[in-house]
Amino acid sequence: MDNPLREIYQQVILDHNKSPQNFRVIENPTNYSEGFNPLCGDHIHIYMNIVDGKVEDISFQGNGCAISKSSASIMTTIIKGKSREDAEKYFQKFHDMVTGVETTPEEEESLGKLLVFQGVREFPARVKCASLAWHTMHSAIEGKETTISTE
Ligand code: ZN
């Protein structure tokens, strides 16, 4: 029997879960936020250094499932070096993709390796895991003091 859930655990997700990128603390970050996904138990800290509107550095720490951790890892590799505006654009594009908003072929192309998370849209609980790091990054950029929760 076909198990559609298995398809969301693509190799790139397993690789990033095993060897996450930018998995460290930035001392004295310009931007920081913390996120929780109580449904799954994912807990993440996002650290950013934004200088002159550009994300000079971004990192994360925390505990969570393979989806949340790999999503955070891939997110940091994409956002690093981008402008604040582009980071927000990617947040919106990723959010649209995992929540099932229709995407054009051009948008899909620009999503690149983020497309591995497209399959989670079939699993609402997993959407929260995949988008936790993105929501937390968005909150860090906006400079909100509150801890965000997916609930
Ligand atoms: Zn999770």
48 C-alpha to ligand 1 centroid (Å): 22
Structural domain tally of the chain? 1
Tokens of 134: 């993105």
pLDDT at 52: 96
Q: Could you tell me the distance, in angstroms and rounded to a whole number, from the CA of residue 53 to the centre of ligand 1?
A: 31
Distance 77 CA to ligand 1 centre (A): 20
* Residue 115's CATH number: 3.90.1010.10
73 closest CA partner among 31, 117, 41, 107: 117
Measured over the CA atoms of residue 83, residue 88, residue 91 and residue 96, the dihedral's sign is: negative
Cα 142 to ligand 1 centre (Å): 24
Count CB atoms within 10 A of the CB of residue 49: 17
Dihedral over Cα of 28, 18, 117, 126: its sign: negative
What is the CA(69)–ligand 1 centre distance, in A? 8
Instruction: Tell how far the Cα of 63 is from the centroid of ligand 1, in angstroms.
Output: 9
> pLDDT per residue over 52-86, tens digit each?
999 999 999 999 999 999 999 999 999 999 999 99
Domain containing 57 equals 3-149
pLDDT, one tens digit per residue, over 108-142 is: 888 888 888 988 888 888 999 999 999 999 999 99
Distance 89 CA to ligand 1 centre (A): 23
- The Cα 31–Cα 49 span in angstroms is 6
- Inform me whether the pLDDT recorded for 90 exceeds 60: yes
